[in-house]
Every structure is written in C-alpha cells, then in structure tokens.
Structure 1
Amino acid sequence: MSDASLSRKQTLFYLVFLILMWGINWPLSKYALEFTPPILFAGLRTLIGGALLIMIALPRWRQLRLRETWLYYVLSAFLSIVFYYGFQTVGLQYMPAGLFSAIVFLQPVLLGLFAWIWLGERMYPRKMVGLLLGFGGVAAMSIGGLEGGISVIGILLALASALSWALGTVYIKRQAAKVDSLWMTAMQIIIGGIVMTAYGSSVESWSEVRWTSAFVYDTLFISVFVIALGWLVYFKLIGSGEASKVGSFTFLIPVVSIICSILFLNEHLTINLVAGMILIVGSILLVNVRSRQV
C-alpha cells in the first residue's frame, strides 16, 4: 500500500521533524558510544524503536501478510537498518563525526542517481549539479575533521553506509505497492534490531555497557524519535514524492548536527561552516525548484 500524497504543510512539518531529529542523532550517538560498545548500541536502539513500531502497527495486523511479504522485510532490514547503522556506528570509532557524516551524505547524490536508473525519476543537469553542490556543502562544513586524521577503514565504512542507505530507500520505494508502509517500516527495524543485537552479543560484552541515567535517556530518545518516528516519517515522505527531492533535504541534517555541537559541545563557528550552509541551501533550491524546460 503506497502512501497518499501529502499536503505542502504536512510535507514541511515532516521534513522539519526529520531534519531536527536526525541532525540531533549524530552528537547524541557519539556521546552514547562513551558508555557502550558500538554494535550493541546499534542493536539496542533499533530493537527498542522497532518494538514501539510493532505495537503501533498491531491494529493493522491483517495487512502484515508475512507469508507473502517476509522477503521484502528481510531485504529492506539489511539494506536500510543492519548495514546502514552497523557501518555507521562502527565507522564513528575510526573517524571524526563531521568528516564521517560528510561521506555518508554522499547518499542523496547516490539516491538521485539510483532513483533515475531504477525509479524512472527525471534527471537533468541542474538537478545533478544541485546534488553534487549539497555534498560539497557537507564536505566544506566537515573539512576540519581532516585534522583528526584519515582512516581508510573509516572512509570505506562511511561509503558503505551511504550506499546501503541509498539502495534501501530505492528498494522500499519500488516495493511500496506490495506491502503496507507501516508494517514495512516496523518489520525492517525490528529485524535489523534483532540481527544487530544478536551479532553484537556474540562479538561484544554486555558487561561493558555502563547503564548511567544519561545513557538510558540518550538511548530512549534516539530509539523513539530518531529510529521509530524518524524512519516512519522518512518513508512516508519517500512514498509521497520523488525520492531524490526528499533526499536533497537530508543535506540539512549535518547542519543541525553541527549547530548542536556548537551550542552543546563548545565547538566553534568557522568560515567553512558558513560556506557549507550556503552551498546546501543552493543545492536544495536547484533540486527542488521546478524548471520550465523539464
């Protein structure tokens, strides 16, 4: 079941919510890694978020149709959740968060290409320039991360995270008519949470987790607002419009992340940050403003 079209006000509300929640996620996740091994944390937060979505979806249990749709849930779980969060959480151990996020946000560019190839969305020079401009903006904001050193493993994990996110988004968009959107979101997250928690339990130790109140509140916030509600909103936006256009707005997520770091982690505003924000605004305008020629 595909999503119905959203009004402009609904789209704006969902975009603002998503950008704020996913922007806050980066510094919150980096902070949480002081208390927990990475894979266990990735599994725990998605497991809680998935369980919440399962409870929300239960009144629509007839639309689950597990025998017919289980493969869609499993494939989307690995692409959008297991690989994306797994690569991301482990990769943050190897590189500064800013530089790592800059590479991950190659995703909207990849998404624009994949949506053109597999979803039949229109691609034209201005749109591609806009997508590349947005990536350049994220890179400009994060250039200071180069001072922290470059890790080949970190770069590969960031690229893998971006690739899996883009492929997962296109896959779900392609299967939208075959599955219920709420169950698709809930099942992929709970499956992803189970897989990562099981794997984390085999390679990491629960005894290393420090269950402080700060860690618990941090994890619960991420589970509810970033994972459960964030992915629900993201796929609702993807289901109701062009994937590449929604993807272009995700360039704003690192902007929120860096602003939060300036406000709460005492990081400084630099010319790179200002230049990056200007490039990102230009990117979103290029991708989303309609052209008479197209």
Structure 2
Amino acid sequence: MPATFLYMSLADLAKLVFLSAIWGGSFIFLRVAVPELGPLLTAILRIGLAGLALMAFALMTGVDMNWRRNWRPFAVVGIFAGVLPFSCFAFAAQHLPAAHSAVLNSTAPLFGALFSVLWLSERLTVRKLAGLALGITGVAILVGAGALTLDRPTLAAIAACLVAAACYALSSIIVKKTGHPGGIHPIAMATGSLVMGGLIMTPTLPFALPIAMPSLTAMACIAGLSLLSSGLAQALFIPLIVKVGPTRAMTVSFLIPLFSMLWGFIFLREPIGLPTFIGGAVVLAAMGLVLSAAPPRAEDTVTAEA
C-alpha cells in the first residue's frame, strides 16, 4: 500500500480496527443485558463502572484532571458521548437486532463531517462525501437494510439510534475544540466525561432497579460494556479524535457492523449471508476514500498529548 494512500499511521489505523471490534461487541452485550436489567439501568451501570475504571487509571498514571477548571466540558461531553447515546442504544436494543443498531450508528461519520464543516472549518470534499455515502451504503448491504417491520416501536428505536449517532458526532467536535496544546488532556477528558455522566445519571437509579436479580451472563455483559466498550474505548478514541480529527476518527463506525455480525455469529449463532461479505468489501472501500482524502489544514491539526 503506498505511503500516500492513508494520511494516518499504521498504529492509528490499528486502533480504529480494534475500536471497531470492541464497539461491535457492545451491541451484542446490549441485546443480552437489556432484557434483564432494562435500558436505564444498563446505561447507568455502563457509564458509572467505566468512569470508575478510568478514574483509577488516571490516578495511577498521574493524569491531571483539574476538576475545578474542566468540570463544565467534562459534563457536556459526558452528556453527548455517554448519557444520551448509551441510553438511546440501550432503548433501541429492545426493538432492533444488534446489526441494525450498528448500521444506524454508522451515520455518525456523516454527522461528524457536517458538524466539522460548520464548527471546525474543515473542507467537505467530493472524495470525502463520496466515501461517507459509500460507507452507509456498504453497511446497509451488510445487514440487509429494509428487512425490518416499520411499526411504532421500531421507528422509535431507529430515531433513538440516529440521535445517538448525532450525539457521538457532536461530542467529537467538542473534544477536538478543547483538546489542543494547553487544553484538556485526552485521558482526562475520557475519564472526566464518564465520571460526570455517571453522576448526572445517578439520581435516576431508584427508578431503574430490576424486579428480579440479573443472571451472571447479563452482569458479565455489563462488565464488557463498561470496561471494554466504554472505558478502554474512550481512552483510545478521544486521543485519536484530537490527533487525526473527528471525521477520520469516526470512520471507525463503518467497521462496527461487520464486527457486530461476526460476534453475533460466534456468540449468538446469528447467521451470516452473502450481504455480509459484499457489504464488508464496500465498507473497506469507503474507509479508503475517507482516509485518503486530503488531510486537514495545518492550523486545524492537533497532536494528542502523550
């Protein structure tokens, strides 16, 4: 592969693939956990446990949180990267198959590209726009979009997923604006946003308690959601946003449905058909278009802190 093909390092590209794998698993975790714990408790536990884990990591590594100065951006990112999308996807898991939620999540880069044009002065080139459109087409092929019965609960779940995708995109813009040299350390932002999101959701806990004790399988899925799909993922993703920009970082969501289908086949015995392989090829082509587009202007590019 020519060096000019991707304006990202191999390490950053590997992070994108790894993030796709663990976020693809999150939709499987949700499908197992939500029926037993309910959507609200699932979201509360996901964000709360992830915040505690990252807080312990930040303390061990000496990351300066500077709570007094940063609590407001922590709270805003916590709402748009945690509280709202976690709650929306947990709600949608009651009515949509995991792969369909992952497809709708793949609209995040399109929202991100549009928001970057509005607030970061990035250029929405024809090549990048074509890549985004191709990516959405690919994930639609991947899971056979259009196979759903569009009743009221399904439409509400689809709307919730689109709101969640837009929230993820908006949070990436906020992270990019605050993650400059002298700004908020990326790990501090990942930690603080999850902790603040957990605090924001805590008052709703009495209304979210389940009637019966959840199974060990459901609790294991909550642990996976919290520690892998939220804590570890945020610790990797936020520095990546700061380094490569929101649009490129959010192409991660193009690969999530592929991994969601794979994990569903392995762990839930969900079948994989020909659209999986055709859609996967289209998705990879879309990532190539977006990632090989001209990089942002030098003044808009920010290097993540070590």
Do they superpose with TM above 0.5? yes
Partner of 2:168: 165
Match of 1:3 in 2: none
The residue that corresponds to 1:274 in the other structure is 277
1:93 counterpart letter in structure 2: Q
Q: Kindly tell me: are residues 215 and 109 of structure 1, through their superposed partners in 2, closer, same or farther at Cα, counting changes over 3 Å?
A: same
TM-score (norm 1): 0.89
- Does 2:179 align with 1:176? yes
* Aligned: 1:97 with 2:98: yes
Specify the code of the residue in structure 2 equivalent to 1:51.
Answer: L
Match 1:188 to one of 193, 201, 214:
193
Q: Which residue of 2 aligns with 1:55?
A: 56
Residue 44 of structure 1 aligns to a residue whose secondary structure is helix
- Give the alignment's TM-score, normalised by structure 2: 0.86
Does structure 1 conserve the Cα–Cα contact (< 8 Å) formed by 2:176 and 2:245? no
The CA deviation string for residues 110-130 of structure 1, in whole angstroms up to 9 with x for no partner, is 111212221222321011010
Summarize deviations over 1:133-191 as a string: whole Å, max 9, x none.
Answer: 10111122233573454422112211111111110111111111221221111111112
Which residue of the partner structure matches residue 3 of structure 2?
Answer: none
Where does structure 1 differ by over 4 angstroms across 4 or more consecutive aligned residues?
59-62
1:256 to 246, 259, 266: 259
Decide whether the 8 Å contact of 1:255 with 1:277 is kept in 2: yes
Tell me which of 210, 216, 221 is aligned to 2:219. 216
What's 2:207 paired with? 203
RMSD after superposition: 2.3
Amino acid corresponding to residue 270 of structure 1 in structure 2: G
Q: CA deviation at 1:71?
A: 0.8
Conserved 8 A contact 2:127-2:293: no
CA separation in 2, counterparts of 1:214 and 1:122? 46
Q: Which residue of 2 aligns with 1:113?
A: 114
Partner in structure 2 of residue 138 of structure 1? 139
Cα distance, 1:124–1:7 mapped onto 2, change above 3 Å: closer
User: Which range moved further: 122-131 or 218-227?
Assistant: 218-227
Indicate the SS of the match to 1:72: helix
For residue 70 of structure 1, report the CA deviation from its aligned partner: 1.3
Deviations 1:196-216 (A, max 9, x none): 3432x2433244441x22222
AA paired with 1:222? Answer: L
CA distance in 1, matches of 2:267, 2:149: 20
Kindly indicate whether the alpha-carbon contact (under 8 Å) linking 1:42 and 1:197 is maintained by their aligned counterparts in 2: no
User: How do 1:31-110 and structure 2 match up within 5 A?
Assistant: 31-59=32-60, 63-110=64-111
> d(CA) in 1 for partners of 2:127 and 2:10?
26
Q: Tell me if structure 2 keeps the 8 A contact 1:141–1:273.
A: yes
User: Conserved in 2, the CA contact under 8 Å of 1:43 and 1:194?
Assistant: no
Give the conservation status (yes or no) of the 8 Å contact 2:95–2:157. Answer: yes
Identity of paired residues, percent?
23
The answer to whether the Cα contact below 8 Å between 1:137 and 1:277 also exists between their aligned partners in 2 is: yes
Question: Structure 1 regions of 5+ residues with no counterpart?
Answer: 1-5
The alignment status of 1:235 with 2:245, answered yes or no, reads: no
| 2:34–2:93 CA contact under 8 A, matched in 1 | no
Matched residues in 1 for 2:188 and 2:68: separation? 13
Shift, 1:84, TM fit = 1.0
The residue identity in structure 2 corresponding to 1:50 is: G
Q: Which moved more, 1:117-126 or 1:44-53?
A: 117-126
For 1:139 and 1:157, the matched residues in 2 are separated by: 18
CA contact (8 A) 1:99 1:146 kept: no
Deviating more after overlay: 189-198 vs 128-137: 189-198
Name 1:18's counterpart in structure 2: 19
3-state DSSP of counterpart to 1:121: coil
Q: How many residues were matched structurally?
A: 286
Q: Which amino acid aligns with 1:203?
A: F
Paired letter, 1:30: R
